[in-house]
Structure 1
Amino acid sequence: MDSQIKNTTPTLLSHYDYIIIGAGSAGCVIARRLIDHTDASVLLLEAGGPNAGIETISNPTQWVQNMGTEYDHLYNFEPTPAINNRIIPIPRGKVLGGSGSINGLVWTRGHRADYDGWAAAGNVGWDYKSVLPLFKKIEDWEGGETDFHGAGGPIGIGNAKNLHLSSIALIEAGRTYGMPVFEDANGPEPEGVGPMTLNVKDGVRQSPTEYLKPVIGNQRLTVLTHAKVLKLHLNGTHCTGIELDWQGAIHTVTAEKEVILSAGAIDSPRVLMLSGIGDADELKQLGIDPQISLPGVGKNLQDHILLAGMCYETFEPLGSPNNNLCGSQAYWKSNQQLSVPDLMFLPIHAPFLSAEIVQKYPVPENYFCLVPGLVQPKSRGYVKMKTARYDGPLEIQPNYITDPADLEALVRSVEIGLELADQPVFKSLIKRLAAPLSLKNRNEIVAFVRDAVSSYYHPVGSCAMGSGPEAVVDSKLRVHGVTGLRVADASIMPSITSANTNATSMMIGEFASKEIIENL
């Protein structure tokens, strides 16, 4: 059940039918489908190394240990006054499988309204009814095929098992609070509390590289690791191929049919900008000659927020961490007038606290964290290059809580978290609130929020799909104004889904594959 792919020593040719930049959650999907359903040659590129034999990748309880390592691009969000000028890490996978090899293994799709909203904005084919079969195609659900789950797909998924005491307690606390209890977080309209669904099978992470395993030896597929794309090559408005740095040399490779950019919400806009595709004025300021004017490249950045705090001291140890250090979650509304839950609550059996909170409040010996989060943020940010260097520094700015509605929703999330912690099941476990020591009024809560805002590691939206002036790709994921070039990853989401984004990123890979194959 090893979900990892060992290193290979491929031969790099001068041309391929398709070049896929990024072997992450979408890129691995596309490579597999093109090999299975066409006679095309495919080059799949990964900036990081192979993922074989790495315990922190395969073992679900060790996933946080990948952050800040060679398997992480080591990006940070820029500080702003709204979050007390704190620098917030944004881990991104730099390894075969991309962020799908280092993330928290949560398998959720969000709400029906997320996709229907994309379609209502003019993105034909992205409504919930249309994308549901693509989600099912990915899955090998532990319970066999159902109306909402697939069986026999590459990615084994199932509900968390042997729930940690804090995860059991959240479900019971939610029930007594008045939340519906669900058994499957992947229903069309998740709201309430229940067990997490994880991309774990037989205790091992199901990385996107599961897609590659059956085709890794195929002569039409070349997989390069430690390959850094420098830019796209354009002939007028047609993308003809790429320039990349591999094994200490610069290579030019031609794509006979298409280049598919699947480098994620940070690096996909960077590659476009390096190639002269983006906001013309900003490119000129960097000394890059604009080729295609697309002012939306790098704009519309969105991310889910978790509050890294609300740590409770317990009367007794609650047992060793298991599953993915969590195991259940709640989806709820900050305002009952909302049509879709905008909040999430997680019982984390690890010290999930910001550096600023830890400095003020040490973690007790016996503890768990009850973590509120915002999954429908209104704030929008951007990705910019600070220099024209392909490996130069980036300005990655999500503009956390700059929209007042986000601050209000997070204040309410803390209040609901306190109400959940006051339910009988938690009162029997909790000795005291340890970090912070007090959340008794709005001023204390707001101060806590500004110190506790953290990423849920779900950046999306920076190459948004649509037809407006800041859209980057159309509904078939083709880059506006360019032929032979598609973007397929989380960057194309016009608005963020109301749950973890990995499953949706893989669905985007299936969507792109279907578009390419059906239009050959």
Structure 2
Amino acid sequence: MGPALLPLLLIALSSRSLCAILQGTDDAFAHLSISQYDYVIVGAGAAGGVLANRLTEDEATKVLLVEAGSRYVFKERTTLLRKLTRGYIASDYNNTNIEIPWLAPVLTHSQFDWNYTTVPQEGMNNRSISYARGKVLGGSTSINYMIYTRASKDDWNRLASTTGDDGWSWSNILPYAKKLENFQPSPNVQNATSKFSVADHGTDGPVGAGLPQVSLAIDQLGLNAQQELSSEFKYNQDVNSGDMIGFSWTPFAIQDGARSNAARDYIQPVLSRSNLDVLVDTQVVKVLQTDMDGSTPIVTGVQLTAGTNEKRYNLTATKEVILSAGAIGTPHILLLSGIGPADELKKLGIESMVDLPAVGQNMQDHPLLTTNFQVSSNDTLDNLSLNTTLQAEQLSLWTTDRTGDFTLGACNQWAWQRLADDDPIFGKSNVTDPSAGLTSPHFQLIFSDLYIAFGGGAFPEGHFLTLISNLYTPMTRGSLTLNSTDPFTHPLINPGLLNDEAGFDIYTMRQALKAGRRFLAADAWKGWIVAEYGASANATSDADIDAYIRKNALVVNHVSGTVAMGKSGAMGRGAGALNPDFSVKGVKGLRVVDTSAFPYIPASHTMVPTYILAERASDLIKNSTLSSPPSSGNSASTQLAAPRLMFVLLALASLIFLTL
């Protein structure tokens, strides 16, 4: 049965409320009014969830939040597991898979993933790289590894300088960072006060965060190694203090042992609001021009559909359309709509609405490399992969009271490091330090207590430590372009990984691996680490290391920058596609709020910076006078004209809820 033949479905996710979550069906579309919503938000991820929550704080503001992916499948809190190459995958992708932190790896390539792939990457031996992006309520916050970092003072101050808007400076975004945060270290965390700075955190916000609540045997070894090598690896009490540099404990968006995400923290708590509707299983294929203001198009319409062969519907917001579909989805929609480089669009027969060359350009991501080390101890998290009895015990612990190893993320400790100021790479005429400043890292080292190989392959028996080394200040810039005018055909994604002309990126990846090896060669690890394991062990010369990196590196999935902010006004390729208030240059009534807006990728995991963007964007939108009403007429061929009949829908929801 096709989606269009399914009945309208309104799902109540909590006993407190009858929430307006509509599935993308003909019945649902028929009950959406053409002029009912002030704002249509496209994408229910980190940014879209924040915007939907904050904009509907005003009861007079009506919002429709549209998500291409599904809602959660809410079932009992049990999950059947089966072994899959030393990892575990649930027999059914339900909310428990999303909620259990330890199961984050199984969400990649699942029904909750867009399953994008890059074009062959020259800098990675012409390999096509898998790109995981969330296609579910909560977006990528529902499938990522939950790492909680704000980025550095210098990253935010550079954003302020780049956009000419001091509102993006560290001192001005810090209140937003604290506003969104509910940092509550578990009582199980030992010596917690030495692992974070109380003054640097918020405790009343919606997003749960904390430190790992399970101590691992390698934790003390890591601390000992840091003290031994403190001249290179300083101790950093709190990576979210504004200065990220040094060895520190890893904060996660995990609270009470479960994943904290945009769906749980921003969307679900406000579903009782009568001025918010959430439409799932529905893809926005383009934005629509609804009027003109002089020579400037007003773009407050969207075209949406439930599937490739389903009917398309046009819907107009009374104030604005806000794209929050992510750094791949958002430029894809803009290009299909005729907003982008006019010469490129013309080749595909797309009429240009606005010639905006920056759309789809400036793509950036963080390259990632795993290196494995065999250890002598049998006390590692590899046991959670090997021992089915232990798996059952840990699942029972998590199901009962949200404790145990299933509450863990990828690591308990890491180090964020910079190249030395006098590093030879900075002596090259074509290299200027791409970092934002001294508080911003060039690379990251993650120390994981088990064997990890993101690229797949055979998994060995034994016990391991995995070093994950990531580049966080890439010089490479790539692009996203259309592959087809079919909105259901993925675009051409080319981040240009490890392919900068100066060679900075591959050099810094090499230096990161060397730094990780130095850390793990400290006396503190003697008797624990046996040897480096696998192909990397033979990579000793610079040429060998570079070859190993190009053959094995992947990405952290932090794609950013494809609809970048710049200073107000200018519309050239290097000037950015957005004004500092997220309004799209050259049109009215349209904004972009998501990771695509960053002109420089943050030297950080990107979830929390995106929350911060959206928190401030909400205030900018609330205080804006830029919103223009749509034309009384609309040239679109198919309109949603039926009345909303919310009373009838809520009654229907009541009946459905009683049968669940």
1:123–1:465 Cα contact (<8 Å) kept: no
C-alpha deviation, 1:123, in angstroms: 3.4
Tell me the alpha carbon deviations over residues 281-313 of structure 1, each in whole angstroms, 9 at most, x when there is no partner.
Answer: 110111111110100101000111111x31011
2:450–2:463 Cα contact (<8 Å) kept: no
Matched to 1:486, the amino acid is R
1:164–1:326 Cα contact (<8 Å) kept: no
2:451–2:463 Cα contact (<8 Å) kept: no
1:269 and 2:328 correspond: no
1:318 and 2:360 correspond: no
Which residue number in structure 2 is paired with residue 227 of structure 1? Answer: 282
Further displaced range: 406-415 or 156-165: 156-165
C-alpha deviation, 1:329, in angstroms: 1.3
2:40–2:317 Cα contact (<8 Å) kept: yes
Which residue number in structure 2 is paired with residue 434 of structure 1? Answer: 533
Which residue number in structure 1 is paired with residue 104 of structure 2? Answer: 63
Further displaced range: 28-37 or 420-429: 420-429
1:371 partner SS: strand
1:345 partner SS: strand
Among 76, 79, 92, the alignment partner of 2:133 is 92
1:376 and 2:473 correspond: yes
Which residue number in structure 1 is paired with residue 21 of structure 2? Answer: 8
Matched to 1:440, the amino acid is T
Tell me the alpha carbon deviations over residues 100-123 of structure 1, each in whole angstroms, 9 at most, x when there is no partner.
Answer: 111001000111100111111233
In structure 2, distance between residues paired with 1:57 and 1:167: 26
For 1:173-322, list aligned pairs within 5 A: 173-178=225-230, 179-209=233-263, 210-234=265-289, 235-236=291-292, 237-246=297-306, 248-307=310-369, 309-320=370-381, 322=405
Which residue number in structure 2 is paired with residue 461 of structure 1? Answer: 561
Matched to 1:266, the amino acid is I
1:301–1:398 Cα contact (<8 Å) kept: yes
1:378 partner SS: coil
C-alpha deviation, 1:437, in angstroms: 2.7
Which residue number in structure 1 is paired with residue 417 of structure 2? Answer: 332
For 1:116-195, list aligned pairs within 5 A: 116-124=157-165, 125-142=167-184, 146-178=198-230, 179-195=233-249
Matched to 1:499, the amino acid is S
C-alpha deviation, 1:194, in angstroms: 1.2
1:446 partner SS: helix
1:482 and 2:587 correspond: yes
Matched to 1:315, the amino acid is S
In structure 1, distance between residues paired with 2:335 and 2:545: 40
1:325–1:350 Cα contact (<8 Å) kept: no
1:173–1:424 Cα contact (<8 Å) kept: yes
C-alpha deviation, 1:128, in angstroms: 0.8
2:160–2:169 Cα contact (<8 Å) kept: yes
C-alpha deviation, 1:394, in angstroms: 1.5
1:136 partner SS: helix
Which residue number in structure 2 is paired with residue 499 of structure 1? Answer: 604
Matched to 2:587, the amino acid is V
Which residue number in structure 2 is paired with residue 444 of structure 1? Answer: 544
Among 519, 523, 545, the alignment partner of 1:424 is 523
Aligned length: 513
C-alpha deviation, 1:150, in angstroms: 1.2
C-alpha deviation, 1:81, in angstroms: 2.6
C-alpha deviation, 1:518, in angstroms: 1.9
Tell me the alpha carbon deviations over residues 247-297 of structure 1, each in whole angstroms, 9 at most, x when there is no partner.
Answer: 743221111000000000000000100110000011011111111010010
| Structure 2 spans left out of the alignment, 5+ residues | 1-12, 23-27, 75-94, 186-195, 385-404, 423-432, 626-660
1:12–1:222 Cα contact (<8 Å) kept: no
1:393 and 2:490 correspond: yes
Aligned pair in 2 of structure 1 residues 264, 350: CA closer, same or farther (>3 Å)? farther
Matched to 2:597, the amino acid is I
1:259 partner SS: strand
TM-score normalized with structure 2 length:
0.75
In structure 2, distance between residues paired with 1:353 and 1:39: 51
In structure 2, distance between residues paired with 1:365 and 1:171: 24
Which residue number in structure 2 is paired with residue 515 of structure 1? Answer: 620
2:200 partner SS: coil
2:238 partner SS: coil
Further displaced range: 54-63 or 4-13: 4-13
Matched to 1:401, the amino acid is L
Which residue number in structure 1 is paired with residue 188 of structure 2? Answer: none
Aligned pair in 2 of structure 1 residues 252, 145: CA closer, same or farther (>3 Å)? farther
2:208–2:254 Cα contact (<8 Å) kept: yes
C-alpha deviation, 1:335, in angstroms: 2.7
In structure 2, distance between residues paired with 1:189 and 1:39: 41
In structure 1, distance between residues paired with 2:240 and 2:373: 29
Give the structure with the higher percent strand.
Answer: 1
C-alpha deviation, 1:519, in angstroms: 2.4
Aligned pair in 2 of structure 1 residues 51, 185: CA closer, same or farther (>3 Å)? farther
Aligned pair in 2 of structure 1 residues 167, 104: CA closer, same or farther (>3 Å)? farther
C-alpha deviation, 1:354, in angstroms: 5.2
Which residue number in structure 1 is paired with residue 507 of structure 2? Answer: 408
Further displaced range: 268-277 or 313-322: 313-322
Tell me the alpha carbon deviations over residues 428-482 of structure 1, each in whole angstroms, 9 at most, x when there is no partner.
Answer: 3111111223232112111111112111110000000003523110100000011
In structure 2, distance between residues paired with 1:40 and 1:392: 34
Matched to 2:586, the amino acid is G
Aligned pair in 2 of structure 1 residues 123, 171: CA closer, same or farther (>3 Å)? farther
In structure 2, distance between residues paired with 1:82 and 1:377: 13
Tell me the alpha carbon deviations over residues 212-242 of structure 1, each in whole angstroms, 9 at most, x when there is no partner.
Answer: 2221022211101101001101134101210
In structure 2, distance between residues paired with 1:490 and 1:175: 36
Which residue number in structure 2 is paired with residue 23 of structure 1? Answer: 44
In structure 1, distance between residues paired with 2:509 and 2:332: 31
* Sequence identity percentage: 29
2:20–2:276 Cα contact (<8 Å) kept: no
Q: Alpha carbon RMSD of aligned pairs, Å?
A: 2.0
